[in-house]
Structure formats: C-alpha cells, structure tokens
Structure 1
Amino acid sequence: MNEHDDGEESFAEETLIQAIENQIESESPAAARAVFNKLTLVGYEREEALHLMALVLAHEIQAMLRDERPFDGAWYEQALRALPELPGEE
C-alpha cells in the first residue's frame, strides 16, 4: 500500500467519524446517540465507540454501492444496536 492509499483511507475514516458525530449530535437516527451512550457506558473509549459505529456505516455504504440500492436505514439502526458485535460476525 502506498502513501496515497493511506491518506485516502484515513480521510475516508475521518469522514465516517464526522458523519457519526453529526448523527449523535442531531440524534438522527435516534439509535446513534443511544448506541454511543451504551458503548461508552460499558467501557469503550469515545474514539473506540465512534470507530465501531463508523465501521457499521462503512459496511452499509459498501453494500449500497455493491448492490446499487438506497441507504437501508432500518438495517443501519439494527446493526448499530447490535454493537459491539460487527455486521457479519454473527
């Protein structure tokens, strides 16, 4: 992996984390704040909790692109609520 790939990856992750922070702040979806609170309550650091939530968002975005379909809000909320278990680990 070259430096360009590393930069793109960290930019993508920062963008996802920013999106998660916006969801928590706006409580849209409502599950975002609830899940963030749950993760921090059970001992996850703020950054760890945001990272886990960003992984769920990334998973849904990849599925959208792969399947050429709209964002599945119901699946996304369900997957958030399943954290710290990640999609595909069940």
Structure 2
Amino acid sequence: MDQREEQLRQRAYDIWQAEGEPHGRDRDHWELAERQLRETGEAEEPTTADAEVKPAPARRKAAPATIQDDGVTVKPKTRKPRASKA
C-alpha cells in the first residue's frame, strides 16, 4: 500500500471513529478524507487532531432515546391450538 492510500485509510478511520462508528457510511468517510487531504496537500502522517470532524447531518429521523413507561400492561396474544390430525 502506498503512503497516500495509507493516509486516506487512516484519515477515513479517524473520521469514522469521531462520528461514533456508524454503519454504512464508509464511502462518505473515504470521500471526506480524500477532500481533506487534497485541501491541505498533506504529505505527512495524520495526527489525532485531524480526527476532530463535525458529524455529518443525519439522513434518517433518529429514534427516541428512551421509551417512557405509561403504566399500561399489554398481554400477549393467545393462539388457538392446532387442529389434531385424525
């Protein structure tokens, strides 16, 4: 692996970690790492300060953090017994 590709891999990994290790965003992280390296013209090894990245805007509506208990108890549905084969 050449030095530039190793820098891209490390930068993308740092971005992924900084965003909380989300699944399915590897291409976004790789492209952001490419842009950052291109803009800075960086030739040396990335530092930990480079990993400080603003998280990308959420694409999906986030699920609620907690589900509140409203005191309602739900009973499981009962199933009818199977008909026996005679």
Shorter-chain TM-score bucket reads 0.3 to 0.5
Q: Which has the higher helix share?
A: 1
TM superposition score normalised by structure 1: 0.35
TM superposition score normalised by structure 2: 0.36
Structure showing greater radius of gyration is 2
